[in-house]
Amino acid sequence: MIRVAAFLAVVLSGSAVAAERPFRDCPECPQMIALPGGAFMMGSTSEETTTLKVPDALAAREHPQHRVKVARFAIGVTEVTVGEYAAFMKASGHQDTAGCYSRDANGARANVADANWNAPGLAQTDRHPVVCVGWPDAKAYAAWLSQRTGKAYRLLTEAEWEYAARAGTTTPWFWGKDRNAACAWGNMPNAAPGAPQDPAATDFACQDGIAEIAPVGAFKANRFGLHDMLGNVWEWTEDCLHPSYDGAPVDGSAWVDDPDCNVHVVRGGGWVASQTLPRSAARSSDPLPYRGIGLGFRIARTIDR
């Protein structure tokens, strides 16, 4: 069982606030924790992206850095697991579409027609994060939780995600500035023996001991008590992709001004990714029906105020 301290002091906007005691709204529901509202600087500085040699097109997505105020909300302590998603599939009758960007019979990265969340082409248990789920699948899961509990479950907004990942920090990673401390905090693209790496990836100079996807909670939590906010698998968010933060909302809401949006922001990096991507400010994206062995999701819940 993942243990989270009852109260975790975090300094946000110059004042001490605390995360609360974790809870579940039903036996098969994800473990959640309520985060205090607060303000933070979203995005990265030019100094960060220049120092870390983030490609210009990706760096532009993180600029300009801007102040955002986020209301109190609840968030999953971990990514949604295979076991939690299986309960949804059994109870809801949700129709899963086969096909996932996985590995073919020769081990090459490819779209595999018969791969799905329950057979992604990777070893997994009920405690691994579910992968091979598209944005509509993640939305359906949130809707089912809402119906099951009477609470307002949903995907995180991109602002909520970064606020939760940072947990009061302003450094590139929530553990600080040391890139090579990464392997204590998340399942990263690294030099683990046997790890199948993306040829474009540059490894973190550490070993986390896990070649593929890790069970949730296998690494240390950030100061909000959240596990795997960076690394392990990418996480869908509610927001449409925009090329920069020009015109972005500053109230923590989702940026969904495009009614035809079919590309959504994913956050957190994963076990196979360029080393510039598992950072608090880094943004990537996928089309909403995309399913991949490195992409899952985390859930949020609105809290009545």
Tell me the CA distances in angstroms from 112 to 17, 22, 104, 109, one per residue in order. Answer: 46, 38, 6, 9
More confident residue, 197 or 211: 211
Sign of the Cα pseudo-torsion (245, 246, 251, 254, in order): negative
pLDDT of residue 305: 58
- Range with the poorest average pLDDT among 8-22, 89-103, 181-195, 225-239: 8-22
Let me know if residue 126 belongs to a domain.
yes
Is residue 205 pLDDT above 80, yes or no? no
- Range with the poorest average pLDDT among 120-134, 185-199, 211-225: 185-199
Model's pTM, two decimal places?
A: 0.90
Is residue 173 pLDDT above 90, yes or no? yes
Residue 181 buriedness (CB in 10 A; 0-12 / 13-18 / 19+): middle
Residue-number span of the structural domain to which 188 is assigned: 8-302
CATH of residue 288's domain is: 3.90.1580.10
- Range with the poorest average pLDDT among 52-56, 79-83, 209-213, 229-233: 209-213
Residues of the chain above pLDDT 90, percent:
71
Let me know if residue 268 belongs to a domain.
yes
Q: Are residues 149 and 29 in contact, defined by beta-carbon separation less than 8 angstroms?
A: yes
Q: What is the DSSP letter of 276?
A: T
Number of domains comprising the chain: 1
Residue 119 Ramachandran class (φ > 0 left, ψ -120 to 50 alpha, else beta): beta
- List, in order, residues 6 or more apart from 23 with CB less than 8 Å away: 31, 32, 33, 34
Average pLDDT, the chain: 88
Is residue 2 pLDDT above 50, yes or no? no
Let me know if residue 2 belongs to a domain.
no
Let me know if residue 49 belongs to a domain.
yes
Is residue 180 pLDDT above 80, yes or no? yes
pLDDT bracket for residue 19 (50, 70, 90): low
